[in-house]
């Protein structure tokens, strides 16, 4: 629990600490930011290794009173799914901060304060076990991201940042109404609490399936709108290419690496868990949109002339797999979705870093400006190729595992009940190969006939330091995904069991400690109600 | 008897203070600091007295109204009244402190200003303490007349004079509505005592048509005072024309005072607790009437927030933009009246506190930067403010985020509480309207931040003249953050009032 606290609050402490630094003292600011984020990662390792993967429930749960009037508490805890995403956050952030050393050259102090604040809020989103707290973290993210794109972004940054802000706010405010509604309905009608209101996730989770289906559908839509904008699902994706393209490299890395995962995480954590019957209703609609997004994102990516924009559209396509996996509502699909979230964070994050390295050398992202880079930057080519192949989904690298599992999940899903989702979605993998390989070929191979490209330097030491850790995990997940899948397995199986119980009356899989767990849980939750 | 004198202490103090400040003004000649410090010290005294009465037991207050009190039941003490005393006095101190440098620069420091502010506060406190229609009216009049003068305080400025005249003409008209409405309610129920009115309505033994007309007129009058659609047209002009520090004061404390009047009137004229066993034909008529009336207030509230926010988008002047957004906030606050329950009233208390801090803060920042009435008030003038005045830009951004309702600033828990209350009383659609208008409002709040942070200034940089306004800004910022992160104490306190 201490580790959980430190993981959450250390970045906040760091950002407050940075306030007291002198603006000119950029070196100290940079080192402190990096030091704190690495320390956070180290602390989060204790979480990771102390995690009991046999337990499908929440661990390290901490609860404190906060706003008693509407029973909003400071409740945090993690289960298998959030564990992996917390790790992803603490892993990506130091790399992003390190990448900022070169690419951010103005107003450093404010920048690092914003990034640390962002990490705090992102970790909070994955840890929150209270809807009110979750919403607070969800909204706090807007402020640093708004400034990061708006101040340190490219030339159309104002347009991009306002678009990002408005899109997100539209979704989240409707979610707020749904949260209030749910809190009141659960507190008053379902749980009959004296306060008549609660946003305690653990309590609501137990009873939410008793909400009448027509109401569930509205709540589902309000939550889903917010999350699907964040993911982003076709046709709500239009903010993403702008935000990605205009954000500074580390901003894109965090955006792609972690921020988008908040949407997919929310879908699993809230939509599936709280509104199961409504999820059955909307599963096919959302899956169709996911498949459309896979194909659409890939096709649009194919015609991009800007490398960063291409990678941005590839995100639309990749996140489509994640959403498809989630709404297949099978253990394979959800496990695949979770591991694919991590994969996408790693491989797309790495692609953005690589594009950033090129940009720093040449100050252009136009594909036509490049060609034959492999001759001058051979080592870089290898790393870029690894990231690219991971993104394509080459077996042996991480992307394959995730995409394969989501496709299997969608294929055999009793909820979607059609093979066509997988069949069409699988063609997205081919398209991914087309646009990524084609881009790679145009940038890296061919003749190096642009004189500006003749004297590019190969990877520097710091660039090595950023990419090597990512490569390690890309290969690790590709070769032996079990060490990560294990963590989230029981949590996702528990969720799938719950869904199957509601739909078919019996789960297909017996959890290892299922019996004891339920025995323990039920009296506990009743005690809570009595309190 | 003695007990009541203690309970009435804040009210007595403020009235003595308002006379005393004029005296101090008269006897100190050219020395301006004495009146300045005297008013602040006096208001601090009021705050201490109010805190003291708030802690006193409130059980025998209701009894006191009938057992031959000095005020003959015209006044109520403690509880929310004491809380609003504190709120108004704090607003007064914040305004006075910020006004000193502003007035010295723009017009010249005149000591009347301090006594006018204190007169206005005494009016507001009268409203907060009212338990009789007449007391409400007297309070509203004291407050409004002072506001007319304050709006025209810089009498050499055409805009200021225009604001005063406009406000006066329309405001006195609205007061007429209010008074006539009260007369009608008297005709319907035969009493002006709020508790007796609500008791009478609950029996159903009333003249319905008078009550309906009366309530309609009261709603019109009060909607004018809080600047709600369709009676909000005066607000932008008056708020823009008035001296900026005055605008901050009028649009927060003044609005809160009018809302207190709204709360007490709604509470007594729109009872919700009809006993199920006592239902008869007459009561059904009354019940239907209260439901319709609530619906009308809900519609006004919805229209107010939409119109306020939509028109604010088109504004190029920061002061005018804040004026329109203030109209919208009146709409949010009225959600609490619509909800007509504990949470709703607590929401109004909380939100008006939060709103006071962020709005006064924002207006003070505008006042610090503006020059000669209209210069440096355009949104485009704020470009690059981050570079020239990083701290002012940061606090202004904070106020904007708070006004937009983004956590962890004070605006958010307030909105959350109001949403909860509104949904609880079954007006989910109103919450959705509120959400939509919040989304609209993001555009201009964020637009200002965008100008301050992301755009570079062309031409002369703004020059800030902060001086003692530092205090106001600091208090507002700290308040906004603390209320945003730890709202619990105030919410719990407010819930106990109702």
Average pLDDT over residues B353-366: 93
Cβ–Cβ below 8 Å for B442 and A165: yes
- Banded pLDDT at A501 (limits 50, 70, 90): confident
Residue A356 pLDDT greater than 80, yes or no: yes
The number of folded domains in chain A is 1
Average pLDDT over residues B379-404: 88
Residue B84: the pLDDT is: 92
* The residue to which tokens 């309505």 are assigned: B201
Do β-strands A59-67 and A72-78 pair in parallel, antiparallel, or remain unpaired? antiparallel
- Banded pLDDT at B56 (limits 50, 70, 90): confident
Residue A525: the pLDDT is: 43
Mean pLDDT for chain B overall:
87
Cβ–Cβ below 8 Å for A197 and B443: no
Residue A513: the pLDDT is: 58
Residue A453 has a CB neighbour count (10 Å cut-off) of: 19
Instruction: Let me know: does B353 contact B483? Beta carbons within 8 Å.
Output: yes
Its domain, for residue A168, covers 2-530
- Of residues A150, A178, A173, the one with CA closest to residue B440: A173
Residue B138 pLDDT greater than 80, yes or no: yes
Average pLDDT over residues A309-330: 91
Distance between CA atoms of residues A142 and A89, nearest Å: 17
Residue B115 pLDDT greater than 80, yes or no: yes
CA angle A495, A499, A500 (to 5 degrees): 115
In A42-177 the beta strands, taken as DSSP E runs, fall at 59-67, 72-78
Of B419, B450, B495, the CB nearest to A158: B450
Question: Chain B contact for A143, CB < 8 A?
Answer: yes
Average pLDDT over residues A27-35: 90
Distance between CA atoms of residues A512 and A492, nearest Å: 13
Percent of chain A exceeding pLDDT 90 equals 28
Instruction: Let me know: does B35 contact B111? Beta carbons within 8 Å.
Output: yes
Residue B426 pLDDT greater than 50, yes or no: yes
- Banded pLDDT at B62 (limits 50, 70, 90): low
**Burial, A235: exposed, middle or buried (Cβ in 10 Å; 0-12, 13-18, 19+)?**
exposed
Which tens digit of pLDDT belongs to each residue from A170-183? 888 889 999 999 98
Residue B59: the pLDDT is: 53
User: CA B186, B191, B192, B197 torsion: positive or negative?
Assistant: negative
Residue A519: the pLDDT is: 44
Cβ–Cβ below 8 Å for A151 and B412: no
Distance between CA atoms of residues A156 and A403, nearest Å: 33
Query: Cα distance from A158 to chain B (closest Cα, Å)?
Result: 7
- Banded pLDDT at A295 (limits 50, 70, 90): very high
How is B341-354 classified by DSSP, letter by letter?
SHHHHHHHHHHHHH
- Banded pLDDT at A459 (limits 50, 70, 90): confident
Q: What is the CA radius of gyration of chain A?
A: 22
Residue B277: the pLDDT is: 58
* Interface list for chain B against chain A, based on CB atoms closer than 8 Å: 343, 346, 401, 406-408, 412-413, 416-417, 419-420, 423-424, 428, 431-432, 435, 438-439, 442-443, 446-447, 449-450, 453-455, 487-488, 491-492, 495
Which tens digit of pLDDT belongs to each residue from A365-416? 888 888 888 888 888 889 999 999 999 888 888 888 888 999 999 988 888 8
Residue B275: the pLDDT is: 60
Residue B23 CB contacts under 8 Å (≥ 6 apart), including other chains: none
Residue A458: the pLDDT is: 83
Instruction: Let me know: does B177 contact B251? Beta carbons within 8 Å.
Output: no
Residue A23: the pLDDT is: 83
Residue B209 tokens, joined = 């048509």
How is A400-430 classified by DSSP, letter by letter?
HHHHHHHHHHHHH-TTT--SHHHHHHHHHHH
Distance between CA atoms of residues A415 and A185, nearest Å: 27
How is B36-65 classified by DSSP, letter by letter?
HHHHHHHHHHHHHHHHHHHHS--TTHHHHT
From B146-155, B165-174, B291-300, B378-387, the region with the lowest mean pLDDT: B378-387
Cβ–Cβ below 8 Å for B417 and A70: yes
User: CA B476, B478, B480, B486 torsion: positive or negative?
Assistant: negative
Of B346, B428, B453, the CB nearest to A150: B453
- Banded pLDDT at B78 (limits 50, 70, 90): confident
Question: Chain B contact for A215, CB < 8 A?
Answer: no
Residue B459: the pLDDT is: 72
**Burial, B83: exposed, middle or buried (Cβ in 10 Å; 0-12, 13-18, 19+)?**
buried
Distance between CA atoms of residues A76 and A134, nearest Å: 9
Instruction: Let me know: does B228 contact B250? Beta carbons within 8 Å.
Output: no
- Banded pLDDT at B60 (limits 50, 70, 90): low
- Of residues B148, B115, B137, the one with CA closest to residue B43: B115
b/e A96-123 (16+ beta carbons within 10 angstroms → b)? bbbbbbbbbeebbbbbbbbbbbbbbbbb
Residues from chain B contacting residue A150 (CB–CB below 8 Å): 450, 453-454
- ipTM of model over 0.90: no
Query: Of how many residues is chain A composed?
Result: 531
Residue B383 pLDDT greater than 90, yes or no: no
Distance between CA atoms of residues A461 and A330, nearest Å: 44
Cα distances from A478 to residues A395, A483, B38, B354, in angstroms, run: 7, 11, 75, 52
Residue A196 pLDDT greater than 90, yes or no: no
* The residue to which tokens 């046999």 are assigned: A54
- Banded pLDDT at A34 (limits 50, 70, 90): very high
Residue A531: the pLDDT is: 37
In B119-242 the beta strands, taken as DSSP E runs, fall at none
Residue B201: the pLDDT is: 84
Question: Chain B contact for A68, CB < 8 A?
Answer: yes
Query: Cα distance from B283 to chain A (closest Cα, Å)?
Result: 28
Average pLDDT over residues A244-259: 88
Exposure on the CB side of residue B89, measured as CA atoms within 13 A = 29
Q: Which of A389-398, B63-72, B136-145, B365-374 has the highest mean pLDDT?
A: B136-145
Residue B124 tokens, joined = 């507001």
- Banded pLDDT at B478 (limits 50, 70, 90): very high
Residue B306 tokens, joined = 């939409």
Q: Which of A135-144, A514-523, B384-393 has the highest mean pLDDT?
A: A135-144
* The residue to which tokens 């090129």 are assigned: A358
Distance between CA atoms of residues A214 and A277, nearest Å: 9
Average pLDDT over residues B440-458: 86
Residue A526: the pLDDT is: 43
Residue A289 tokens, joined = 């949109």
Distance between CA atoms of residues B103 and B116, nearest Å: 14
Residue A529: the pLDDT is: 42
Distance between CA atoms of residues A65 and A71, nearest Å: 8
Distance between CA atoms of residues B445 and B326, nearest Å: 12
Residue B274: the pLDDT is: 63
Residues from chain B contacting residue A177 (CB–CB below 8 Å): 419, 423, 428, 431-432, 435
Query: Which DSSP letter does residue B371 get?
Result: B
Distance between CA atoms of residues A178 and A184, nearest Å: 10
Residue B276 pLDDT greater than 80, yes or no: no
Which tens digit of pLDDT belongs to each residue from B199-232? 888 777 788 888 889 999 999 999 999 999 888 8
């Amino acid at each position: 629990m201490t580790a959980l606290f430190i993981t959450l609050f250390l970045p906040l402490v760091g950002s407050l600490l940075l306030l007291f630094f002198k603006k000119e003292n950029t070196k100290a600011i940079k080192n402190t930011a990096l030091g704190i984020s690495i320390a956070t990662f180290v602390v989060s390792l204790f979480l990771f290794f102390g995690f009991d993967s046999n337990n499908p429930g929440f661990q390290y749960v901490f609860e404190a009173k906060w706003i008693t009037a509407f029973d909003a508490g400071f409740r945090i805890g993690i289960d298998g799914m959030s564990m992996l995403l917390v790790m992803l956050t603490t892993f990506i952030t130091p790399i992003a901060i390190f990448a900022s050393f070169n690419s951010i050259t103005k107003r450093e102090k404010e920048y690092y304060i914003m990034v640390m604040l962002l990490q705090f809020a992102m970790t909070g989103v994955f840890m929150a076990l209270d809807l009110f707290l979750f919403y607070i973290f969800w909204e706090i993210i807007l402020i640093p991201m708004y400034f990061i794109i708006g101040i340190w972004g490219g030339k159309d940054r104002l347009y991009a940042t306002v678009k990002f802000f408005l899109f997100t706010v539209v979704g989240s405010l409707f979610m707020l109404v749904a949260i209030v509604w749910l809190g009141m309905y659960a507190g008053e009608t379902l749980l009959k609490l004296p306060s008549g209101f609660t946003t305690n996730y653990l309590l609501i989770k137990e009873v939410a399936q008793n909400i009448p289906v027509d109401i569930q559908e509205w709540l589902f839509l309000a939550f889903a709108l917010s999350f699907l904008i964040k993911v982003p699902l076709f046709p709500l994706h239009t903010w993403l290419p702008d935000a990605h393209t205009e954000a500074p490299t580390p901003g894109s890395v965090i955006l792609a690496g972690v921020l988008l995962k908040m949407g997919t995480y929310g879908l699993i954590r809230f939509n599936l868990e709280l509104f199961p019957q409504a999820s059955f209703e909307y599963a096919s609609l959302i899956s169709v949109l996911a498949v459309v997004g896979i194909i659409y994102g890939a096709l649009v990516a194919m015609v991009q002339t800007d490398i960063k924009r291409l990678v941005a559209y590839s995100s639309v396509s990749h996140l489509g797999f994640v959403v498809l996996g989630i709404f297949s509502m099978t253990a394979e699909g959800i496990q695949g979705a979770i591991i694919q979230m991590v994969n996408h964070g790693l491989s797309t994050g790495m692609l953005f870093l690589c594009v950033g390295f090129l940009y720093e050398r040449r100050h252009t992202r136009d594909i036509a400006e490049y060609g034959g880079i492999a001759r001058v930057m051979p080592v870089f080519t290898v790393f870029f190729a690894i990231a690219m192949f991971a993104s394509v989904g080459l077996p042996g690298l991480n992307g394959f595992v995730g995409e394969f599992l989501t496709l299997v999940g969608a294929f055999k899903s009793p909820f979607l009940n059609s093979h066509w989702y997988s069949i069409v979605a699988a063609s997205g993998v081919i398209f991914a190969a087309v646009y990524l390989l084609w881009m790679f070929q145009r940038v890296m191979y061919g003749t190096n006939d642009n004189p500006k490209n003749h004297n590019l330097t190969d990877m520097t030491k710091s660039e090595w330091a950023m990419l090597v850790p990512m490569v390690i995990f890309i290969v690790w997940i590709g070769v032996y995904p079990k060490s990560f899948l294990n963590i989230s397995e029981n949590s996702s199986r528990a969720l799938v069991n719950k869904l199957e119980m509601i739909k078919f009356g019996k789960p297909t899989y017996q959890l290892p400690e299922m019996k004891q767990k339920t025995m323990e849980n039920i009296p506990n939750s009743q005690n809570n109600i009595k309190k | 008897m003695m007990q009541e004198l203690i309970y009435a202490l804040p009210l007595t103090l403020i009235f003595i203070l308002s006379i005393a400040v004029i005296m101090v003004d008269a006897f100190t000649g050219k020395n301006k600091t004495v009146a300045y410090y005297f008013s602040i010290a006096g208001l601090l005294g009021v705050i201490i007295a109010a805190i003291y009465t708030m802690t006193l037991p409130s059980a025998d207050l209701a009894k006191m109204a009938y057992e031959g009190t000095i005020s003959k039941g015209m006044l109520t003490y403690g509880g929310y009244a004491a809380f609003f005393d504190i709120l108004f006095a704090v607003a007064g101190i914040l305004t006075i402190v910020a006004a000193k440098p502003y007035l010295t620069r723009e017009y010249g420091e005149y000591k009347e200003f301090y006594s006018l502010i204190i007169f206005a506060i005494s009016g507001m406190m009268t409203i907060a303490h009212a338990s009789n229609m007449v007391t409400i009216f007297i309070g509203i009049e004291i407050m409004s007349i002072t506001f007319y003068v304050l709006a025209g305080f810089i009498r050499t400025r055409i805009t200021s004079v225009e604001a005063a005249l406009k406000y006066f003409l329309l405001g006195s008209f609205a007061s007429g509505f209010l008074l006539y409405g009260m007369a009608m309610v008297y005709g319907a129920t035969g009493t002006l005592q709020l508790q007796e009115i609500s008791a009478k309505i609950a029996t159903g033994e009333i003249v319905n048509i008078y009550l309906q007309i009366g309530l309609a007129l009261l709603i019109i009058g009060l909607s004018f005072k809080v600047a709600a659609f369709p009676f909000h047209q005066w607000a932008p002009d008056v708020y823009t024309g008035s001296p900026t520090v005055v605008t901050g004061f009028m649009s927060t404390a003044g609005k809160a005072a009018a809302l207190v009047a709204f709360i007490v009137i709604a509470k007594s004229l729109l009872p919700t607790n009809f006993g199920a066993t006592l239902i008869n034909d007459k009561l059904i008529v009354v019940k239907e009437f209260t439901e319709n009336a609530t619906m009308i207030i809900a519609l006004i509230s919805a229209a107010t927030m939409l119109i306020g926010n939509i028109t604010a988008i088109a504004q190029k002047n920061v002061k005018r933009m804040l004026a329109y957004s203030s109209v919208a906030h009146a709409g949010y606050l009225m959600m609490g009246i619509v909800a007509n329950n504990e949470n709703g009233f607590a929401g109004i208390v909380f939100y008006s506190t939060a709103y006071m801090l962020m709005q006064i803060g924002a207006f003070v920042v505008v006042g610090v930067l503006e020059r000669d009435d209209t210069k440096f008030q355009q949104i485009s003038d704020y470009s690059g403010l981050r570079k020239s005045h990083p701290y002012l830009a940061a606090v202004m951004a904070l106020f904007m985020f708070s006004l937009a309702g983004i956590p962890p600033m004070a605006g958010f828990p307030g909105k959350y509480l109001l949403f909860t209350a509104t949904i609880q009383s079954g007006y989910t659609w109103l919450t959705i309207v509120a959400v939509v208008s919040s989304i609209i409002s993001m555009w201009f709040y964020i637009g200002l931040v965008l100008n301050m942070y992301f755009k570079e200034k062309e031409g002369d940089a703004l020059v800030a003249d902060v001086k003692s306004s530092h205090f106001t800004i600091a208090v507002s910022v700290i308040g906004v953050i603390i209320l945003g992160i730890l709202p619990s104490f105030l919410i719990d306190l407010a819930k106990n009032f109702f």
